[in-house]
Amino acid sequence: MAGLELLSDQGYRLDGRKATELRKVQARMGVFAQADGSAYLEQGNTRALAVVYGPHEMRGSRSRTLHDRAAINCQYSMATFSTAERKRRPHGDRKSTEMSLHLKQTFEAAIMTQLYPRSQIDIYVKILQSDGGNYSVCVNAATLAVIDAGIPMRDYVCACSVGFVDETPLADLCYAEESVSSLSVALLPRGGQIALLQMDARLHQDHLEALMEAAMTACKGVSKVLDEVVRQHLQEAAVLNVCP
Amino acid sequence: MAADMRLPRVRKTLSVSESASHRRDLVVPGDIITSDTGFMRGHGTYVDDDKLTASVAGEVQRVDKLICVRPLKTRFNGEVGDVVVGRITEVQQKRWKVETNSRLDSVLLLSSVNLPGGELRRRSAEDELTMREYLQEGDLISAEVQSVFSDGALSLHTRSLKYGKLGQGVLVQLSPSLVKRQKTHFHNLPCGASVILGNNGFVWLYPTPGQQEEEAGGFYTSLEPVSLADREVISRLRNCLLALAAHKVLLFDTSLLYCYESSLQHQVKDILKPEVMEEIVMLTQQKLLEQEG
Amino acid sequence: MEVCESSKVSLREFGCEQNLLSRPDGSASFVQGDTSVMAGVYGPAEVKVSKEIYDRATLEVLIQPKVGLPTVRERSQEQCIRETCEASLLLSLHPRSSLTLVLQVLHDDGSLLSCFLNAACMALMDAGLPMSCLFCGVTCAINTDGQIITDPTAAQEKESRALMTFAIDCAKRRVLMSSTKGSFSVHELQQCIAVSQKASEKIFQFYRDSVRRRYSKNL
Amino acid sequence: MKDTPLSNCERDFILKAIEEKKRLDGRQTYDFRRIKITFGTDYGCCFVDLGKTRVMAQVSCELVAPKESRPNEGIMFFNIELSPMASPAFEQGRQSELSVKLNRQLERCLRNSKCIDTESLCVVAGEKVWQIRVDVSMLNNDGNLMDAASVAAITALCHFRRPDVGIQGDEVTVYSPEERDPIPLSIYHMPISISFSFFQQGTFLLVDPCEREERVMDGLLMIAMNKHREICSIQSSGGIMLLKEQVMRCSKIAAVKVSEITELISKALLNDRTARKAGGRCGFAESMPQERITALKTDETLMETSDVTERANDIVEKAGAPPQTVPSPLVPAPGVGQVSQGQQNTWGLQEEDEDDDDDDDEQNGKETKMETEPQEEEKGAGDVVEISDSEEEEVVILTSETSGQAKNADSSSHQKRAAASKRRPKK
Amino acid sequence: MATAQVSEAEKVYILHGIREDLRVDGRGCEDYRHMEIETDVVSNTDGSAKVTLGHTAVLVGIKAEIGKPRPMIPNEGYLEFFVDCSANATPEFEGRGGEELGTEISNTLYKVFNNKHSVDLQSLCISPGEHCWVLYVDVLLLQCDGNLYDATSVAIKAALFSTKIPRVHISTDDEGGKEIELSDDPYDCMRIQVENVPCIVTLCKVGHRHVVDATLQEKACSVASLIISVTHKGTVTCTRKVGGGSLDPESVFEMTEAGKRVGKALHAPLMKLLQHEESLGRKTPKVGFLG
């Protein structure tokens, strides 16, 4: 499609990856001191910054207070310079509002909100540079930020997108590949539970299973990387901590 | 005039040293701590399929049968008896709302404060009207957690002469998990200043008071200028606290004092430079280890 | 002035269905020829503090066009309808509450405003709101020959020189609201009012019949 | 206005019923409610009833400049309007979470799946293309708006005909339907969204949830598919945890439902086409149910208008020159305006009058309530008017000649009458 | 946070400290906090820089696009500013909460930077009256800990320094129409002269003295502040007074003098740092947010 060969005959993709290979993931927790939790994550050329405030007293309209759990409040925005073509508004359009909704939904599933009745948890994610898989990168970055904030979660939430080209599932799509087809999954890897599933593509039903399988494997791959980042962070901090 | 500009430095990636990789007490969310059903579930854990699982990233702590995971950084999870430093955010009927870095604003009831004119004085309707004269929005107080409401909000009290409104000094906000639990959180440091290490991570540095003026019931604050020498000590302590916190060193009177001593060779304003910070903290840790060993 | 030809003075076939939606407290659709409108009424219900009126209910009329968002034209029609409804509803019986009347255009083939009015009246009746009288809407067009056409189609509206819509109450056949467009003489206006009053009788009879039919099983 | 909250016992009841594989309306877990598709008078107007949920879709088109990135493709625009008619919780013109969710899902379902040949909508590359706009209005919300909206939108698109255009040199002529037959859109496939709701942490699954069920559900999974079993979009929403097996199961159910619904849509389209070919009338008037007692229809009616001119003449003549009854304000001294003092003040008097009137009325009402009732029923409408007439005459005498007051009093008398008539049934 | 709450007693403490030239964090009245600067941190831009000042963090991205020159000045390009006060910085900025502050800052930036004395706008012109480069300067606030203006201006200067605009070749076709061709070679690019680009110094009047680089707590004690933009020669290009309080002419004079002194001293280390970074070349990996 579109005159681009997304998968060469030798089985290599545009950026030289194999079909199931993930992009390089680099991350850091605790980027900012003022927030309760923060994290920066880059996955290939997509970069996101996530910040968590809370749990804290409800702000703004008290009518949103939930009496049995914490309310999760997400805002997704993109830096105006994050895309090749300059964006005019960082947030507020239909797509970003939807993305905010999806993030909220994902973290409502993963965070143990029932521990914090009547409080609010803010998760703000900013895309600094966009090259496909914005949702996944946001989820991964936000997961790290939530862990950094010490907010209890059932498990990591890892997200990844997969595409389907020439009967082959491709993992972790970049922007050029995303235009063809994409299935995004946010997974709690340990239980194999899907917190969010979204697909934008025409795909025959028979291929669905293979694609979902690929997506879940990719998510588990991401989760390994995140796990490393978290453990590294823990040790760095704890090594210096003189135990009483 | 001084402007210190530099390129950011790449963080030294600590190779996961042997000593650290053996630390089994560090867990991440979803890690199974034990499948033994004999343990009790504490903070930071949940039970999934009869297995005790961590829900936060941090250190596992065991007290008898109770297992908790203490995250490196979190909001204050108050318990009865904790000493806190907080800021008044709202004056309501018969109570103040206090920001204490908890997940909900804490409450200080009018009936839980000592009012001028005797401890056992009845609260009159007049007191309700003049609440803002005792404590108004923005004021800092030190207090103790009296009880915890069912939704997790804290009820505070200041019914002791050591608690009450705070006067001149400097507030440093840190992570509550860095504050070590001790018998007392009020310290008159030998270097010439006093500190309240609130369990909630709010640390209050103030000049050591001469003698307690007790007649005002804790609502009177002196507005006399603080001497330059005291100021220097307080500023140095403040920067030391930030340095220790940046390197996640547990805070208590000794660690703060050692850090203060190690920092003396530097100017106060230089302490916050990354390399100086690192040096001071290393020295502090050495001293702490020596003392332990 | 010419006497209008009787052949032009006719009402297209009209029909109505009440209580066709489950959510609103009252609903009706009204069809005049091809023009058709659906109306839903919510209330009396809680009102926003900012809109509260201490001695009567707040009536809100919303018109949803078929395509796109409401424009100034819809806003002015909303105004006309609201004033008519306020005149006939006994709003003082429900102080500090809100009534919402939503009108949805289903198809516009002329005489839309009168169809709105008729649908509104049927929906208000269906919602069981106390009213001092019923009202109906009649649209008259005067074409270039000076002939009066009642209940014009969109094509007839386009060719007309003047267009008038009246809301008429059932008790005295008085004019509750008038909305006109184009130029006409005083005499023509009076003629149109007279025609509309005549036409309203038919419509009121229809109201009566449909309500009778509706309650035929209950009584 | 707020939606009425669901009580806890209702919630428990519904959940309990779902656990026992029962539903409020007696359906099985995988059953859809009855779907009814009707068409409007124009091309591209379609109504879908899904049980009590009702939506309307209208397709329209206009010539616009194409997007720079795609100079030879037409533009598709979707808008789902949550009209306050559908539910009291919907507000006009507000971008609620639900509206964003529905709009994006519809876009995903119909635009991203490329079910319409947008290249065929190009008139002059880079300059003029057709913008097809699909407006979906919610008329009644009884749950599962998404499925109803997607069926309505795709059916309306299939039904739609755009005007033909001719290009001569630089000139683009749009032909009216009379000149040249309008052209249908070229549609590759028909994606239909199917919603699955999950309850009790995903243990129970229902197809086509109604409004009550939507309120107690944990989350929703929407799968859009066409009859070739090609999935066009999947979207989960709400805080649910799905397992892969559940998604696979849902996709299988969706395939069956989609083929059923596609069948229904084709049949509806065919029926409409034959009806239109036969020259029969179609539209709402035709779709109105005749058998229900809530509906009534009349045929075209003629009116007797012989005396209209006379009456108009009468009125105009009688009125003559408009009487200058409005007293001009007296100006006692330059720069001082005064109303009321030294003038004919009608306010106090009027209030009194009204009070009297009210009392009268009330008594009247009470007294006549018992006695006049049978009478009134006999005589019907005319008599009621007469009674009020007499009252009004009184009113007219009592108040001054300003018409506003007369009207005022008039309406008050109406009120009384209405109040009286309202009391009647209580007896 | 955009604003900090401070009790009366704390205010007194801060006030007295400043009177004695010893601020809460040990600085003197004209000292800046520790500043970290890095350029070229976002790859989708033509130039970018990240600056942290204490806890304040600012990211600036510059994109060059071809546009039409303003009719009044056909032979110059121009700059467009947008300041995004993102919710990341503080929850108060959520939704439209940050718009007001953003507009305020960007208006000041227009005044300071968008003139030919600060930036050589003529070099941005491609063909007079027809095409010119428009530099979209997008400022993203990541953390607020006071002194946003100074941090932003330093970040903009650094980002302008790193901006590389592709060279343009204009060729005329047969019909006299001009065709613009952009160079593909990443090294064939145009740099912007940043020598004259000013830096902003914000002076906060606290009590009877004024401080530079105020923290949020100090800002809360101050009633008025003066924003001064100063070039490397010490020329003041723009001053603005912000805040509700008033300043008497003497203190305005004193503050301007102090601003000139401080601002002038700000340029030298900045330029040195930027050149040093450039000399490191592409081999040293960027730290970005991973540091």
Q: What is the pLDDT of residues D207-265, one digit of tens each?
A: 999 999 999 998 899 999 999 999 999 999 887 888 899 999 999 999 999 999 999 99
Neighbouring residues of E115: CB distance < 8 A, sequence distance ≥ 6: E121, E237
B217-228: average pLDDT: 73
> What is the reported pLDDT for D404?
42
- pLDDT at residue D382 tops 50: no
How far is A189 from chain E, CA to nearest CA, in Å?
Answer: 25
Amino acid, single-letter form, for residue B92: Q
**Percent of chain A's residues with pLDDT above 90:** 56
- H-type alpha helices, chain C: 72-88, 112-126, 154-159, 186-214
Query: Using CB atoms, which chains have 3+ pairs under 8 A with D?
Result: A, C
Q: What are phi and psi of C87, to 5 degrees?
A: -70, -30
Owner of token pair 């018969």: B94
Distance CA A47, CA E42 (A): 9
- pLDDT at residue B175 tops 50: yes
Answer yes or no: CATH 3.40.50.300 is held by domain A25-238.
no
Give how far Cα B38 sits from Cα of A179, B34, B45, B52, E132, Å.
Answer: 53, 9, 14, 10, 75
Q: Answer whether A32 sits within 8 Å of E143, measured CB to CB.
A: yes
**Who has greater pLDDT, A215 or D358?**
A215
Which range has the worst mean pLDDT, A40-49, A234-243, E33-42, E115-124?
A234-243
> CA of C1: which chain D residue's CA is closest?
D309
**Who has greater pLDDT, D137 or E172?**
D137
DSSP for B121-153 reads: PPPPHHHHHTHHHHS-TT-EEEEEEEEE-TTS-
Half-sphere exposure for E129 (CA within 13 Å, toward CB): 1
> What is the reported pLDDT for D346?
41
> What is the reported pLDDT for B23?
62
Fold topology of D8-286: Ribosomal Protein S5; domain 2 (3.30.230)
Q: Answer whether C11 sits within 8 Å of D305, measured CB to CB.
A: no
Check contact E-C (3+ Cβ pairs < 8 Å): no
Distance CA D207, CA D214 (A): 11
With beta carbons under 8 A apart, name residues in chain C contacting D301.
Answer: 10-11, 13, 202
The whole-chain average pLDDT of chain A stands at 88
Owner of token pair 């008050």: D412
With beta carbons under 8 A apart, name residues in chain C contacting D299.
Answer: 13
A110-135: average pLDDT: 92
C13 at interface of D, judged by CB pairs closer than 8 A = yes
D293 at interface of C, judged by CB pairs closer than 8 A = yes
Q: Answer whether A112 sits within 8 Å of B248, measured CB to CB.
A: no
Interface test with D, best of C64, C78, C91, C212 (most D CBs within 10 A): C64
- Tell me if the pTM is above 0.90: no
A4 at interface of D, judged by CB pairs closer than 8 A = no
Distance CA B39, CA B52 (A): 8
Owner of token pair 């009732």: D373
Q: Give the total number of structural domains in chain E.
A: 1
With beta carbons under 8 A apart, name residues in chain A contacting E48.
Answer: 81
> What is the reported pLDDT for B119?
60
- pLDDT at residue D350 tops 50: no
Nearest neighbour of D88 by CB, restricted to C42, C67, C150? C42
Q: Answer whether D141 sits within 8 Å of C23, measured CB to CB.
A: yes
Distance CA E275, CA E161 (A): 9
> What is the reported pLDDT for D242?
87
Query: Using CB atoms, which chains have 3+ pairs under 8 A with C?
Result: D
pLDDT digits (tens, 9 = 90+) for E80-102: 999 999 888 888 888 888 889 99
Alpha carbon of residue B157 to chain centroid = 17
Which range has the worst mean pLDDT, A161-170, B248-257, D396-405?
D396-405
> CA of E41: which chain B residue's CA is closest?
B8
pLDDT digits (tens, 9 = 90+) for C180-201: 999 998 888 998 999 999 899 9
B203-213: average pLDDT: 79
> What is the reported pLDDT for D96?
84
> What is the reported pLDDT for A138?
95
Q: Which domains does chain B have, with CATH numbers?
A: 24-71 (2.40.50.100)
- pLDDT at residue C211 tops 50: yes
Amino acid, single-letter form, for residue B32: I
pLDDT digits (tens, 9 = 90+) for D35-45: 999 888 888 99
- pLDDT at residue D373 tops 50: no
Three-class HEC string of D108-126: HHHHHCCCECHHHHEEECC
- pLDDT at residue E265 tops 80: yes
How far is E47 from chain B, CA to nearest CA, in Å?
Answer: 17
With beta carbons under 8 A apart, name residues in chain A contacting B287.
Answer: none
**Who has greater pLDDT, C31 or B224?**
C31
Which range has the worst mean pLDDT, A167-171, B119-123, D348-352, E23-27?
D348-352
Q: Answer whether D284 sits within 8 Å of C36, measured CB to CB.
A: yes
Q: Answer whether D244 sits within 8 Å of A200, measured CB to CB.
A: no
Say which CATH number the domain at E145 has: 3.30.230.70
The helix or strand, by DSSP H or E, that contains position E56, with its residue range, turns out to be strand E56-67
Q: Answer whether E8 sits within 8 Å of B235, measured CB to CB.
A: no
Distance CA D217, CA D215 (A): 6
E190-209: average pLDDT: 91
pLDDT band at B140 (very low <50, low <70, confident <90, very high): very high
- pLDDT at residue D377 tops 50: no
**Percent of chain D's residues with pLDDT above 90:** 37
- Stretch 146-205 of chain D: residues touching chain C, C-beta under 8 Å: none
> What is the reported pLDDT for D288?
64
**What are the extents of the domains in chain C?**
6-214
pLDDT band at B142 (very low <50, low <70, confident <90, very high): very high
Query: Using CB atoms, which chains have 3+ pairs under 8 A with A?
Result: B, D, E
**What are the extents of the domains in chain A?**
25-238
A230 at interface of B, judged by CB pairs closer than 8 A = yes
Interface test with B, best of E13, E52, E150 (most B CBs within 10 A): E13
B138 at interface of E, judged by CB pairs closer than 8 A = yes
How far is A206 from chain D, CA to nearest CA, in Å?
Answer: 8
Q: Answer whether E10 sits within 8 Å of B170, measured CB to CB.
A: yes
Terminal alpha carbon distance of chain E: 23
DSSP for C107-159 reads: E-SS-HHHHHHHHHHHHHHHTT--BSS-EEEEEEEEETTS-EEES--HHHHHH
> CA of A66: which chain B residue's CA is closest?
B151
Interchain CB contacts (distance < 8 Å): B and E: 125
With beta carbons under 8 A apart, name residues in chain E contacting A84.
Answer: 44
What are B173's strand-pairing partners? B202
Nearest neighbour of E61 by CB, restricted to A33, A79, A124? A79
pLDDT band at D366 (very low <50, low <70, confident <90, very high): very low
Interface test with A, best of D99, D231, D249 (most A CBs within 10 A): D231
Q: Answer whether D58 sits within 8 Å of C4, measured CB to CB.
A: no
Nearest neighbour of E7 by CB, restricted to B140, B226, B234? B140
Which range has the worst mean pLDDT, A117-121, A141-145, D142-146, D285-289?
D285-289
The helix or strand, by DSSP H or E, that contains position B59, with its residue range, turns out to be strand B58-63
Give how far Cα E278 sits from Cα of A177, C96, E39, E158, E286, Å.
Answer: 34, 71, 9, 11, 12
Tell me, what's the ipTM? 0.84
Q: From the CB of residue D170, how many other CB atoms can be counted at a distance below 10 Å? A: 7
Bond into A55 cis (ω within 30): yes
D120-126: average pLDDT: 89
With beta carbons under 8 A apart, name residues in chain E contacting A35.
Answer: 88, 143
- pLDDT at residue A218 tops 90: yes
B279-292: average pLDDT: 88
A195 at interface of D, judged by CB pairs closer than 8 A = yes
> What is the reported pLDDT for D342?
47
Candidates C8, C32, C177; CA nearest to C110 is: C32
Neighbouring residues of A62: CB distance < 8 A, sequence distance ≥ 6: none
- pLDDT at residue C21 tops 80: yes
Q: Answer whether E34 sits within 8 Å of B274, measured CB to CB.
A: yes
User: For chain D, what's the residue count?
Assistant: 427
Q: Answer whether D100 sits within 8 Å of A204, measured CB to CB.
A: no
The whole-chain average pLDDT of chain C stands at 89
**What are the extents of the domains in chain D?**
8-286, 345-427
Fold topology of C6-214: Ribosomal Protein S5; domain 2 (3.30.230)
B174-199: average pLDDT: 90
